[in-house]
Amino acid sequence: MINLEDYYQGTISGFKTEEIAQALLGCLLVNETKEGRTAGFIVETEAYVGVIDEAAHSFNGRNTKRIQAMFERAGSLYVHQMHSHVLVNIVTQEVGEPEGVLIRALEPVEGISIMEMRRKRTGRELTNGPGKLSQALGITMAYNLEHIQESNLSLEMDNRKTPGKILKSGRIGINNKGSWTDAPLRFYVKGNPYVSRFRGEVSENLGWRE
């Protein structure tokens, strides 16, 4: 298992973005705000592999002020808006290599009443999508360009869970991007009901190993 703390400190390197996307599954994503602490286990991610990836904002080396964070060091937060929804990505490679992972869904575990207040929803609808989880945790555009180890938004590894099985599929909402439309770069915990567009049966222990 990749030690993400060491990875984002820059003391180890060499892992592919697809590997980081899978290693993030089961990590506890925490946000500390004036309303209180909210947290959830990551159950779904999508990898974006930089200049060759037609679905990535940094495709073909595109570099604008809006996507500057993608060119920063591993662990930098790239936060952007899409259709009024705030989405959070974690950069995965060295400076100048614009690859990252979109956090797509969480299983909420702390501050659920705060999440319900923010979302005006309950249950799966709290965090079963990238825009939903950002709203639930109180993630705003102000987090853009911060670093995951120096931000109110953090990963806590002490309570990390291990997926029973990781499944992969094409990414969601990627159209007209050639072979990249169906590239299997979405990863999720099998049987966890908080996965976006969840279908099928809920696994025992929500898809986590005991």
Tens-digit pLDDT profile for residues 140-193: 999 999 999 999 999 998 889 999 999 999 999 888 888 998 999 999 999 999
Provide the Cα torsion 7, 13, 19, 23; round to 10°: -20
> How does pLDDT run across 113-151, given as a tens digit for each residue?
999 999 999 999 999 999 999 999 999 999 999 999 999
What is the SS3 string spanning 159-194? Answer: CCCCECCEEEECCCCCCCCHHHHCCCCEEEECCCCC
Cα(205)–Cα(132) distance, rounded to whole angstroms? 23
Cα(156)–Cα(170) distance, rounded to whole angstroms? 28
Q: What is the pTM of this model?
A: 0.96
Q: What is the pLDDT of residue 178?
A: 86
CATH of domain 4-199: 3.10.300.10
Q: Percent of the chain, pLDDT > 90?
A: 90
Categorize the per-residue pLDDT at 80 as very low, low, confident or very high, splitting at 50, 70 and 90.
very high
Domain ranges of the chain: 4-199
